Amino acid sequence: MKGQLILEDGSIYKGNLFGAVNPAGAITGEVVFNTSMTGYQEILTDPSYAGQIITLTFPLIGNYGTSPVFSESDKIWAKALIVRENYVSEDVGFQKLDVFLKEQNVTGISGIDTRSLTRHIRSHGTMRGLIKIESNNGDISCGCSDIKAEDDGNLVAQVTTRHVYRLPGKGPRVLVMDFGVKKDILRQLRLKGADVVVVPAFFDAKDIFSLKPDGILLSNGPGDPARVPGIVSTIKKLLGRVPIFGICLGHQLLALALGAETYKLKFGHRGANHPVVDLETGKTCMTSQNHGYAVREKDLKRLGLVITHKNLNDGTVEGLRHRYLPAFSVQFHPEAAPGPSDSNGIFDEFFDMMIKRRQREQAI
């Protein structure tokens, strides 16, 4: 079925719809691009993409099908998928991406000149877009103003867990504040032996402490960190009481709690090849990233924050550590999935911090 993508500036890209197609409605969302060449399923199911329409720059998507083991959450959170080509296999033993999207009630559009679209976003910045069935008279009745007007609301509230759950382990108890946590973050914690307890994003500090955590992980998640209500004040209450480790949105929220500011990047960092230099060792490694906002560098020093990591390409802040408090965070994804796991050692730092803390407390 023919479809089209209309951007808020009026640009039109024509293609073919696949996955779940709703004949009546149109899908709107922020159009972003990801440059990973593999891992389409991990990307689609990453809750951080909630509300967004994902463009994959690699042109051949769906080549190796889909499998439950690749999902980063229980569903697709992205609103739609834009690709150059969706692989359609005749192999019966092969779970097709198309089928996966249908099951998840998510629309895809293929045949798009995704490179052109990416260049457009790169030069004009991230913008909202709309995907719909191409109408016969070719009209664009759904105007650009409609695209702009829509508000995604509180995305974290949409993706966070509704109830507390525990993934038992013998090691330190890590309490994960779920702003849209990826399964691979939990997997990494468990691989290292953590006793994981996942709580909803808006859990308050008192309830958190009642669960006696050895450390708190502020997870990744979708949207603008400045627009997530309440969480910053919760984090402020947690600071200094227990080791805190933030990833992606968790990193931004930690920074906000410590008084820093965040801002929106022109088109974000989404891909598996972002060079990040560890300022403490001077070494650079490849990281997996997915974020549209960043922590502003100015004033961090005054706030007692040390920049631990920077992006080698644009110099943006990629990691922070508080000078005195047991709290640190990274903008990138050490759990990878998809992408390189070169920065996996960051989890060990979190564990070291928890273990040291516990030893000290026991000593006292």
Partner 1 sequence: MPKDKSLKKVMVIGSGPIIIGQAAEFDYAGTQACLSLKEEGLEVVLINSNPATIMTDSHIADRVYIEPLTPEFAASVIRREKPDGLLPTLGGQVGLNLAVELAEKGILDREGVRLLGTPLSSIKKAEDRELFKKLMQEIGEPVPDSRIVHSLKEAKAFAREEGYPLIVRPAYTLGGTGGGIAHDEEELMEITAHGLSLSRIHQVLLEKSLLGMKEIEYEVMRDKKDQCITICNMENIDPVGIHTGDSIVVAPSQTLSDRDYQMLRSASLKIIRALGIEGGCNVQYALDPETGKYYVIEVNPRVSRSSALASKATGYPIAKIAAKIAIGLTLDEMKNPVTGKTSACFEPALDYVVVKMPRWPFDKFTDADRTLGTQMKATGEVMSIDRTLEGALMKAVRSLEQGVIDLSIKRLTGASIDEIKEEIEHATDERFFAIAEALRRGVSVDEIYEMSRIDRFFLEKIQNIVNMEKRIREEELSPELLRQAKQMQFPDKVIARLKNTGEEEIRAMRRQCGIVPTYKIVDTCAAEFEAETPYFYSTFEQENEAASEDKPSVVIIGSGPIRIGQGIEFDYCCVHSVWAARDAGYRTIIINNNPETVSTDFNTADRLYFEPLYIEDVMAVIEQEKPIGAIVQFGGQTAINLAQALQQRGVRILGTAVESIDAAEDREKFDALLNELNIPRPKAGAARSTEEALQKAKDIGFPLLVRPSYVLGGRAMEIVYNMKELKTYMEEAVEASHERPVLIDRYISGTEVEVDAICDGREVLIPGIMEHIERAGIHSGDSIAVYPHQTLSGTAVEKIVNYTEKIALKLNVKGLINIQFVVQDDHVYIIEVNPRSSRTVPYLSKITGVPMVDVATKIALGRSLEELGYRGGLMPRPDFVAIKAPVFSFSKLRRVEPSLGPEMKSTGEVLGIEKTFEKALYKAFTASGLKVPTDGAILATIADRDKPEAVNLLKKFYDLGFTIYATAGTAKALQEAGVQATAVNKVEEGSPNILDLLREGKVDMIINTLTRGRAPERDGFKIRRAAAEDGIPCITSLDTARALYEVIETTAIKLMPIK
Residues that bind partner 1 (CB under 8 A): 13, 33, 35-39, 42, 57-60, 63-64, 67, 70, 84-85, 87, 89-91, 94, 113-116, 118-119, 122, 271-275, 277, 282-286, 312-313, 336-342
CA 263 to centroid of chain Cα atoms: 16
Q: How near is the Cβ of 160 to partner 1 at its closest, in Å?
A: 25
Residue closer to partner 1, measured from CB, 164 or 265 = 265
Alpha-carbon distance of 165 to 16, in angstroms, equals 41
Instruction: Cite the beta strand spans of the chain per DSSP E.
Output: 2-7, 12-19, 27-34, 52-56, 60-61, 80-82, 85-86, 107-110, 127-133, 165-167, 173-178, 195-200, 215-218, 244-247, 262-278, 283-295, 305-311, 317-322, 327-330
Q: How near is the Cβ of 348 to partner 1 at its closest, in Å?
A: 16
Residue closer to partner 1, measured from CB, 207 or 314 = 314
The residues with which 14 forms a beta bridge, in sequence order, are 4
Cβ neighbour number for residue 282 with a 10 Å cutoff? 7
Note the residue count of the chain. 364
Alpha-carbon distance of 199 to 33, in angstroms, equals 30
One of 8, 30, 42, 335 is an active-site residue; which one? Answer: 335
DSSP code, position 96: -
Residue closer to partner 1, measured from CB, 214 or 278 = 278
One of 251, 274, 291, 333 is an active-site residue; which one? Answer: 333
Q: How near is the Cβ of 68 to partner 1 at its closest, in Å?
A: 13
Q: How near is the Cβ of 177 to partner 1 at its closest, in Å?
A: 26
Residue closer to partner 1, measured from CB, 108 or 111 = 111
Residue 358, exposed/middle/buried by CB under 10 A (0-12, 13-18, 19+)? middle
One of 30, 72, 120, 248 is an active-site residue; which one? Answer: 248
DSSP code, position 135: P
Residue 335 bears catalytic tag = yes
Residue closer to partner 1, measured from CB, 322 or 333 = 333
277-280 contact pairs (CB < 8 A, 24+): 277/309, 277/310, 277/311, 277/312, 278/308, 278/309, 278/319, 279/307, 279/308, 279/309, 279/310, 280/308
Q: How near is the Cβ of 38 to partner 1 at its closest, in Å?
A: 4
Residue closer to partner 1, measured from CB, 59 or 171 = 59
**Do 2 and 134 contact (CB within 8 A), yes or no?**
yes
Q: How near is the Cβ of 55 to partner 1 at its closest, in Å?
A: 10
Residues with a catalytic annotation lie at: 248, 333, 335
